[in-house]
Amino acid sequence: MAEPARLPDAPLLEGEDVTFAYGRTPVLEGVDLSIRPGEFVALVGPNGSGKSTLLRVLLGSLPAGAGRVRLFGQSPEHVRDRGRLGYVPQRPVLASEVPATVAEIVATGRLSRRGWWRPLGVTDRDAVEHALSSVGLDGMADRPVNQLSGGQQQRAFIARAFASEPDLLVLDEPIAGVDAESQRRFRDALVHLVEEHGGAVLLVSHELSAVAPDLDRVIVLKRRVLFDGPPAQLTEEGVSLGVHRDDLPLWLEGLR
Amino acid sequence: MTAVTLPYPFEFLFMQRALIASVAVGVFAPMIGTFLVQKRMSLIGDGIGHIAFAGVGAGLLASGAAAVSGPGIWPVAFALVFAVLGALGVEWLRAKRKASGDLALALFFYSGIAAGVVLVSLGGGLNANVLVYLFGQPLTVDRTELVVIVSLAAAIVAAMLVFRRLLFSVVTDEDWSRVAGLPVGFANNVLAVVTACAVVAAMQIVGILLIAAMMVLPVASGQLIARSFGGTMRWAVAISVASVIAGLAASRIWGLAPGGTIVLITAGVFAVISIAKRGVAPRLPLPVDEPVEQEA
């Protein structure tokens, strides 16, 4: 594995023995995980299990205390081509003193992909339009974002991540409290990204029922990785992701 | 440079110079202001103005020490250096989270005005030279000053056009922009430097005390009318340019202070638009799906 980045199936995102602590409180201990091209992976865990911290370490906004993190084969803070990463934050807070339209917000997704100094061209407009229709917001491009419902806003943020045509899409609890219609759109969009573009998805969520049949792997985190395997295997252990909506959250709470 | 034929009250050369300089300010101030308002740094222009005042004091002192006949370009040159360094300092404190944006502003704001007071008193006290920069006086803009103002204005507008997409992303969602790999620190520094240049370019027209108003008040009106960020900026520029022309004309006709008159008109426009909006289109209820739960 001298040059992992050049192998076609090399992991897009990889953590080896990742450890992190806030002061003396350990948050992550010896976490191993990897996401390969074309994989649809869910990361679950009870509240306070270190999911958000793990994401921040993997994406380079927090330095790992120990262990090794590789994003696109490089250390995350040195990744030059960050346009390959799409990111949907947990409830992003947009400044809204000045109105901004859905199209204006989604178009910012193109900036890191193609260089922020270049004017937007036809390809960019197409990508924005495509991203909007893949989350079911076509016809809403000129609406101010702050006049959309919560679910529509969240879809706009997902479209912003889609607009960069990412190789790896990371979503932090993107559908908490979102209506059923938005959840269905959301699932279709993720499956489309994986199947049509060969992109990989890492989804951090409590609510996997909408995507359960499509997942390749589920990773269960509680300070360390408790489970990493296909959903069917988790079902064998008596935890259902899809049939009973409450199974997973209840089981996760039991892990505390 | 001779006067072109324009109707009253713009028939004289001094009024035409004032008109060009003021329209330039009317264009760039709200362009920058749109980003500042979105960044919730509406008052940064005021803070940087206070730092620029220290520069004016230092410039007047230096021109006195150099024994030149008048203050000339010295106050503007010193104000530019002080304002740029001060703006970068405020941004540095904010970005390093050594102080909140608000507190960072206050630190520089008061140090600036205090240094200005001390330097001005050393340089001969509050005379007419100082008052021009505090309250603005477009009617006395000479040819050199006009060239300086218009050059700064051209540079500011060019920078805004080049950086507008990056700045929009950063002021609207800084955290996301950082994860997306956009140069967030660079963008914030660009905005700080451009704001400083704008303060200095506008200082002689509306005065240090009223600069922030020209950056913010037209934007306040624009966001009531427009539904997009770009639209807000275009409306703000249009309102600002119209206010500047009307304000200059009014100040000539009735002998009013031009800087104050211009700003009062932008405030009046805001009042009229917000009352009209309330009368014509009462706020519609937002579309509702189930509420987004807040995580503790």
Identify which of B172, B192, B184, B151 has the alpha carbon closest to the alpha carbon of residue B32: B192
Sort out which chain A residues have CB atoms less than 8 A from B177's CB and list them.
108
- Please list, in sequence order, all residues whose beta carbon lies within 8 angstroms of the beta carbon of residue A136, skipping any fewer than 6 positions away: A155, A181, A182, A185
The nearest CA of chain B is from the CA of A229 a distance in Å of: 28
Q: Rounded mean pLDDT of chain A?
A: 84
| Single-letter amino acid, residue B45 | G
Interface of A with B in 175-204 (CB under 8 A): 176-179, 182
- Please list, in sequence order, all residues whose beta carbon lies within 8 angstroms of the beta carbon of residue A250, skipping any fewer than 6 positions away: none
Number of compact structural domains in chain A: 1
List the strands of the sheet with A217-222, edge to edge.
A85-88, A168-172, A200-204, A40-44, A217-222, A224-229
Q: Which residues of B226-262 are buried (b: 16+ CB within 10 A; e: fewer)?
A: bebbebbbbbbbbbbbbbbbbbbbbbbeeeebbbbbb
Between residues B84 and B98, the one the model is more confident about:
B84
CA distance linking residue B141 with residue B149, whole number of Å: 10
Residue A81 pLDDT grade (very low, low, confident, very high; cuts 50, 70, 90):
confident
Give the residue from chain A lying closest to B220, CA to CA.
A98
A150 to B291: CB separation less than 8 angstroms, yes or no:
yes
Residue B292 pLDDT grade (very low, low, confident, very high; cuts 50, 70, 90):
very low
Q: Is A46 on the interface with B (CB under 8 A)?
A: no
Residue B97 pLDDT grade (very low, low, confident, very high; cuts 50, 70, 90):
confident
Q: Rounded mean pLDDT of chain B?
A: 89
Rounded to two decimals, what is the model's pTM? 0.88
| Domain that includes residue A26, residue range | 4-254
Write out pLDDT tens, residues A20-57.
998 888 899 999 999 999 999 999 888 888 888 999 89
Residue A47 CA neighbour count, 13 Å, CB half: 4
- Decide if pLDDT at A123 tops 80: yes
pLDDT for the residue A243: 43
Identify which of A110, A128, A127 has the alpha carbon closest to the alpha carbon of residue A119: A110
Write out pLDDT tens, residues B148-159.
999 999 999 999
CA distance linking residue A172 with residue A158, whole number of Å: 11
pLDDT for the residue A65: 85
Identify which of B269, B280, B190, B212 has the alpha carbon closest to the alpha carbon of residue B51: B212
- Decide if pLDDT at A245 tops 60: no
Which domains, and CATH codes, for chain B? 13-279 (1.10.3470.10)
B289 to A117: CB separation less than 8 angstroms, yes or no:
no
List the strands of the sheet with A66-71, edge to edge.
A25-35, A13-22, A66-71
For A163-183, the DSSP string reads: HT--SEEEEESTTTT--HHHH
Write out pLDDT tens, residues B133-149.
998 889 989 998 899 99
Q: Is A79 on the interface with B (CB under 8 A)?
A: yes
Residue B26 pLDDT grade (very low, low, confident, very high; cuts 50, 70, 90):
very high
Between residues B235 and B209, the one the model is more confident about:
B235
Sort out which chain A residues have CB atoms less than 8 A from B38's CB and list them.
95, 97-98
Residue A235 pLDDT grade (very low, low, confident, very high; cuts 50, 70, 90):
confident
pLDDT for the residue A222: 87
Interface of A with B in 87-116 (CB under 8 A): 87, 89, 91-95, 97-101, 104-105, 107-109, 111-112, 116
Sort out which chain A residues have CB atoms less than 8 A from B190's CB and list them.
none
A85 to B181: CB separation less than 8 angstroms, yes or no:
yes
- Decide if pLDDT at A239 tops 70: no
Write out pLDDT tens, residues B34-73.
999 999 888 889 999 999 999 999 998 888 777 666 667 8
- Decide if pLDDT at B264 tops 80: yes
What SS3 class is residue A70?
A: strand
Q: Tell me, what CATH number does A215's domain have? A: 3.40.50.300
Q: In this structure, are residues B293 and A176 in contact, taking their beta carbons and an 8 Å threshold?
A: yes
Of A116-125, A244-253, B101-110, B164-173, minimum mean pLDDT range: A244-253
Specify the DSSP class assigned to residue B198. H
Most confident of A128-132, B65-69, B124-128: A128-132
Identify which of A206, A228, A230 has the alpha carbon closest to the alpha carbon of residue A47: A206
Residue B96 CB coordination number (10 Å): 9
The nearest CA of chain B is from the CA of A118 a distance in Å of: 9
Between residues B295 and A92, the one the model is more confident about:
A92
A98 to B183: CB separation less than 8 angstroms, yes or no:
no
